[in-house]
A = this chain, B = another copy of it.
């Protein structure tokens, strides 16, 4: 009844052959005879042999594990990305170790240590909101552990990355509002050291300029993109002498917050005020009215990041030029921004 798990040596002893032969038989080494392979595999099955991946990892200097650091895992976006990562990784025979930084640099630093400790072969990161410097990533690089960033990256830090074309997203969202006839369009944005919020804002401004409209300071509200921030921002906007006739929010959450305020004030969406969010969260179909939003192809992003990482692992060229993959966003038009649709 001793529950010791069968090892390669056990198989070898039982079959009166050497451990090397067993190992090779199991791994499909060509030099082993048909017959032996059969015997080994049969016994392995019988004893329920499972390779010890710690041992093989140790010996081969590989762990078959990839690490992921995300700010958090709740909400649609990151959980979908992780899903994509998982799918791509497991197809390639890798395990995935997932860590959450909780939007905190210190946590992020600790996560990286943890992952390196666990001997992961590569790491994918989406930086936390409080990350402003890159020392902890340099440590990873020094160890020659391939590193791929996704979605959120640090401005001016040249790295391998898979990102969304946030500028295009911001542009298309805003342009859609303009085409619907809205002219005084406000924008909710987040911390500007994060590429995503900065680029969404730039896209917004670009669209305005294209329509020869001024970019007004008072219509751009900086916040943390949570629901509360959206509510507060909306109230601030409504208090203006000339309130906006539409809002492009850099996040669905703050858009939802804005929606609550509008409803409470008895303002109609999209008639009185148009609204567009960002991320195409699950709930954007459930609000009343349904929320127009930008889809980020989260799962694809996860798969792309993993594919890029696997490529790097494959090539093993320590310091090749960093590669960028840019995904194009999609605009999902729903009721919250459809003014003409109602008229027509």
Could you list which residues of chain A lie within 8 angstroms of chain B, going by C-beta atoms?
Answer: 3, 5, 48, 50-55, 57-58, 63, 65, 72-76, 79-80, 82-83, 86, 90, 95-100, 113-114, 116-119, 139, 142-144, 256, 259-260, 263, 281-283, 286-288, 318
Contacts and interface: CB of A to CB of B under 8 A. Distances in A.
A73 B83 contact: yes
A118 B282 contact: no
Contact of A117 (B51, B86, B99, B281): B51
Copies of this chain present in the complex amount to 2
Contact of A52 (B50, B82, B119): B119
Nearest to A82: B73
B63 A74 contact: no
A113, A142, A282 pick with most chain B CB within 10 angstroms: A282
A306 to B, nearest CB: 15
A228 to B, nearest CB: 12
A86 to B, nearest CB: 6
Given A51-B117, A53-B117, A283-B286, A98 B100 contact: no
Contacts of A3: 142-144, 318
A104 to B, nearest CB: 13
Nearest to A52: B119
